[in-house]
Amino acid sequence: AQRVTQPEKLLSVFKGAPVELKCNYSYSGSPELFWYVQYSRQRLQLLLRHISRESIKGFTADLNKGETSFHLKKPFAQEEDSAMYYCALRGNFGNEKLTFGTGTRLTIIP
């Protein structure tokens, strides 16, 4: 069975400090990992996917197959980063369902 674990429900970080949102997964094959963000009262938006290996809004995430992790990082937090962040997994056959973690609410303290 596939599972995504986000151990922190809430995370508060001072503006300018580094941010790390943890995500671990369980999947028998080679999954695709995503980070989605949900700003207040808005839709789920794709932030990152591991195959793109790009940085969006200063965020990066590296897939670590040995540790089965896909942690989201940003070196310097900004107030506009306050949001709900969801890690999600998709199987390796393309258009499969997404399995989400429980989400982490990130609050940036000014």
Partner 1 sequence: EPEVTQTPSHQVTQMGQEVILRCVPISNHLYFYWYRQILGQKVEFLVSFYNNEISEKSEIFDDQFSVERPDGSNFTLKIRSTKLEDSAMYFCASSGMGDQPQHFGDGTRLSIL
Query: What is d(CA 33, CA 27) in angstroms, rounded to the nearest whole number?
Result: 11
Which of 2/60 has CB closer to partner 1? 2
Residue of the chain from 32, 37, 72, 83 that contacts partner 1 (CB under 8 A): 32
Which of 44/60 has CB closer to partner 1? 44
Residue of the chain from 10, 30, 95, 110 that contacts partner 1 (CB under 8 A): 95
Residue 3 interacts with partner 1 (CB under 8 A): yes or no: no
Query: What is d(CA 92, CA 89) in angstroms, rounded to the nearest whole number?
Result: 10
